[in-house]
Structure 1
């Protein structure tokens, strides 16, 4: 099998964590292929960024870092967002070519040791922390208050914590336990990770960047300010 370093790469960006995505999905074939934008989503991007040792994905679009010469097409990957490598994801049949301008370019955040995965945006999802060179989910317990979770939101540049919850999964996985006294002292989360153990319960977190974004619209027939909406406040004039 190919190692992680051998199966995906980002080229043409500013460093290891950004560029045009290329995949080598066949260990017997030395050639690399692009991935079509229509066949790639946020969960796939989370896996690639994790595989490269980078932070959470921040920009995902076609041809941001240029196109490559043929072959343009590769498999459609169907990741859940928790896999450690893109080739661990299930994949659909081969795709022959991508339309011009639609080969995936990806920008991951620089390694920071904290990311949220599996949510609707980079500011929501299951909290994962990189400690001792390994990404693992964080064990959920009653010590995770909104105040404590706010540390993760700030490290992600995602504002403050809006909700903290538990997500269960069977079978369980190895997790990091975060020491609450360490978090309260202001230390980075990755420095507060204690010995790992096996659990079925993981911390799910939503930060404020996902909610309450201003949504301003104009109407000639209505005056006033409406109440809070799911995505923010709507101003009517």
Structure 2
């Protein structure tokens, strides 16, 4: 009797359920093989899977592009912390459409760039100008903890972009921490506040 190895929550159903007959089960590759049929597994044949793997609740997904080339363009000149988001696909750099974009998506993009995620914010409507090519991804949906946007779901990717996305929908992010002086007593004195996790926070001080 063969043993079942359960896929982690990350692997299982990450890209939804498949359809049709379940064939491959208990796949055990060493990583050196050139083809799946060189790996050990339960014998392959139509409907060969046994409980609990005989339904699509255990369908496994895989991400073959773990690091997406990404850059910020046309943002703050003094730093690289903000700008229009562009990613590379098939040798071409293109923007992300701002449709359905939110703070969780911005966090992932800032994390990919090695920047602070606590103050991650975003701007739509081509805030930092428009790119020279069509959008590559639209309707991005990240939970906020992912290391790369390739781990996130997206309604439209690569060649299938939302029909209403245009150059005016180019997305921009800001990864630096905004600072302000609030309740200033004079031009030079006041309460220093920083924008963290969606709100301004700080304490008394002077600059």
Question: TM-score normalised by the shorter chain: which range applies?
Answer: 0.3 to 0.5
Q: Which has the larger radius of gyration?
A: 2
Structure number having the greater strand percentage: 1
Q: Which has the higher contact order (CA 8 A, sep 6+)?
A: 2
How high is the TM-score relative to the length of structure 2?
A: 0.48
Structure number having the greater helix percentage: 1
